[in-house]
Structures are given as structure tokens and as C-alpha cells.
């Protein structure tokens, strides 16, 4: 905000001394009522009408312009300082540099963050996610202990991660403008299927050349059943989770699940944030990249991934499963939208 000239300050102070209410003085001087009060308070404290000397260079943005910048970020119309700069220039005829805008955002507690990669959520996805969350909001940890979590994932060693940035406050809810929508299985070099339980990780299976319904049924009949057997689980009590990939819904897979009396957890599309196995994939990926210089071949890459997977602690698996009630509550609060998970 620009400093008020001393002459104007003197007139404001004189009107107050004459007994005019601060509200009336503010209207006459065309300033805010709080400005009138601050001028009087400064005189009472220091005996001067001179403005307080600022440290450093004065702000380039007026109060109005700064509020406009914050509004553009808050409503999701702009997500970066460059976006705001272009909008101010083309629509408001205001020429302010992106660096000035960044400083203003920082002063108001916003920080530049990498956009979170999240699946694109359409109206039907949000509705299905909210319905799922309400259905299972009363499940206890003992209920979630029975679930075997599964997923496919691709891992890559090299290449750009395509980071995009946005501005938001610490702890602020994850809005649409703060995420980067993704399509599953884009890029990568090694594809795997894996699962985990309350008792620890299950089998990890490398998939060569892509997966169809027949291969998926084979994985279930070998790796899923072997995991159930290894942990001595009661198959009649197990609840198996997998997503809505077409090969998971194929008739030969559905027939196999019925014949083997495997209970299925109804699953909403576009909901990796509800599946705790995603955190195991992320942890495995981080560890792979920590010593990627030691990996010289695809075979070594797969062997390293197997080792990392096998070393995941039971406590890690249990902590993730214990997070399910909070994940469910977050989906309900977001009305089926994006969550922090």
C-alpha cells in the first residue's frame, strides 16, 4: 500500500481533533477507517505524523492489486506467478513482473509446490468415491485387516518427471488446481503386480510384454493363492481388493473368483489414494533411485526391486492399513474429490 502524504495525514488528524468520528473522517479523506486510527495512534505514541520508515524497497503492488493476485490463486483461475502476470497484463492492464508476484504470494504465507499427480476425477468418479466412503465409514481396523491390497505398477530409472508447480498454503485442502491429472501406466520400463496384507507383503510378479485377462487369472491362481497360503489366512474371510481395470472385470477372471470363493471389495474408479499399496510403490521407487548408479541392466533392476519389496517391514504394512479410516473420512470431507493421500 502506498504511503499517505504528510499533508493528508495532517488534515486527517485535524479532523479527528475537531471531534469528527473516524468513520466520517475516513469517508472525507477517502481512506480506510483503520488508516485514520493508525495515524492517530502513531501520533499518540511518537508525537509525529510522519509514516513509519520501511526497511528495504517499497512494494510495487498496491493493496488492491495484491488482493487481486491472491484472489486469482485462491479461486484456481491461476496456479503460477507467470499465469497471474499474464492475466493481470491482458485483462487488467497491469504490468507487474512474475518475481514481484512471487514475493507478494510469499508474504501471504503461500509456497511454490510441485503439482501432485492425481487421476482425473469427473463427476461420476466423485459420486462413486463418496458412495464408497459412506458405505465403509463404519468399518473398524479389524475389518480392514482382512483386506488383501493389490495393484500393478511400472517402474522407470531415468527420464523427466514432468514436474509442474503451484502456490498454496501449508495444510491447505487439495483442490483441483493443485494436482496434475495422470493416466495410469504412462511410461516406465518394468511392470509388476504385487499385493500386501496385514501380516506383510505378498508375492511380487514381473509382467513381461503386457498383461491380459488370461495372465491376470494365472497371477491370481498362483501368486494370490500362494500369498494367502503363506500367511495361513482363512480364504473364506479374506477380502480381495483390485481396481476396475477391464482385465480385472473380464468374465474368465470373475468366474475364477467365484469358483475360488474370493470375496471382492467393491472399488470406485480413479481412487489410488484409497489404496495404501500406492505408498509401497512410492517407497520402492525412492529406494531404487537412491542407488540407481549400481543398476546396469534390466535384470539387475528387477532383482533390486525384488529385494526392496521383500525388505518392507510388517509394521509399515500395518501402519498403512490403519490409515484407512482417515482416508475414508477425507474422501467424505472432500465430497468425493481429491485428498492428501
Residue carrying C-alpha cell 504511503: 3
What is the Cα–Cα distance from 314 to 233, expressed in whole angstroms?
Answer: 16
H-helix or E-strand spanning residue 85: helix 81-91
Q: Which of 305, 303, 307, 311 is CA-nearest to residue 281? A: 305
CATH of 119-163+182-333, one of 3.90.1150.10, 3.30.420.10, 3.40.50.10680, 3.30.390.30: 3.30.420.10
User: What DSSP character marks residue 177?
Assistant: G
Residues 186-228 have pLDDT tens digits of 334 789 999 999 999 999 999 988 899 999 999 999 999 999 9
- Identify which of 102, 89, 94, 86 has the alpha carbon closest to the alpha carbon of residue 166: 102
| Alpha carbons 151 and 277: distance in angstroms, whole number | 7
pLDDT in tens, 131-166: 999 999 999 999 999 999 999 999 886 544 445 667
Inter-residue contact 224 to 133 (CB < 8 Å): no
Beta bridge partners of 119: 182
Provide the residue ranges of all domains of the chain, joining segments of one domain with +.
6-46, 63-109, 119-163+182-333
pTM: 0.65
Amino acid at each position: 500500500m502506498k504511503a499517505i502524504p504528510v499533508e493528508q495525514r495532517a488534515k486527517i488528524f485535524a479532523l479527528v481533533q475537531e471531534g469528527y468520528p473516524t468513520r466520517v473522517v475516513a469517508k472525507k479523506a477517502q481512506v480506510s477507517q483503520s488508516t485514520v486510527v493508525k495515524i492517530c495512534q502513531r501520533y499518540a505514541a511518537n508525537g509525529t505524523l510522519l509514516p513509519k520508515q520501511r526497511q528495504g524497497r517499497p512494494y510495487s503492488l498496491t493493496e488492491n492489486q495484491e488482493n487481486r493476485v491472491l484472489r486469482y490463486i485462491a479461486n484456481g483461475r491461476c496456479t503460477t506467478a507467470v499465469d497471474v502476470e499474464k492475466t493481470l497484463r491482458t485483462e487488467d492492464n497491469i504490468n507487474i513482473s512474475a518475481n514481484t508476484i512471487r514475493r507478494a504470494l510469499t508474504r501471504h504465507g503461500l509456497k511454490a509446490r510441485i503439482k501432485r499427480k492425481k487421476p482425473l476425477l469427473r463427476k461420476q468418479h466423485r459420486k462413486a468415491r463418496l458412495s464408497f466412503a459412506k458405505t465403509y465409514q463404519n468399518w473398524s481396523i479389524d475389518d480392514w485387516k482382512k483386506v488383501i491390497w493389490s495393484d500393478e505398477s511400472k517402474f522407470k530409472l531415468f527420464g523427466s518427471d514432468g514436474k509442474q508447480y503451484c502456490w498454496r498454503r501449508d495444510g491447505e485442502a487439495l483442490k483441483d488446481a493443485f494436482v496434475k491429472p495422470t493416466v495410469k501406466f504412462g511410461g516406465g520400463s518394468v511392470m509388476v503386480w504385487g499385493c500386501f496384507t496385514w501380516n506383510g507383503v505378498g508375492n511380487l510378479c514381473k509382467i513381461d510384454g503386457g498383461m491380459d485377462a488370461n495372465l491376470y487369472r494365472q497371477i491370481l491362481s498362483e501368486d494370490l493363492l500362494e500369498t494367502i497360503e503363506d500367511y495361513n489366512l482363512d480364504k473364506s474371510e479374506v477380502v480381495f481388493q483390485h481396481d476396475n481395470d477391464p482385465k480385472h472385470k473380464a468374465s474368465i477372471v470373475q468366474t475364477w473368483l467365484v469358483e475360488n470363493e474370493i470375496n471382492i471389495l467393491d472399488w470406485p474408479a480413479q481412487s489410488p489414494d484409497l489404496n495404501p499399496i500406492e505408498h509401497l510403490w512410492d517407497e520402492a521407487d525412492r529406494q531404487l533411485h537412491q542407488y540407481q548408479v549400481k543398476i546396469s541392466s534390466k535384470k539387475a533392476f528387477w532383482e533390486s526391486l525384488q529385494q526392496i519389496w521383500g525388505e518392507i517391514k510388517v509394521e509399515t504394512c500395518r501402519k498403512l492399513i490403519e490409515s484407512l479410516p482417515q482416508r475414508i473420512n477425507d474422501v467424505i470431507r472432500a465430497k468425493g474429490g481429491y485428498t492428501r493421500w
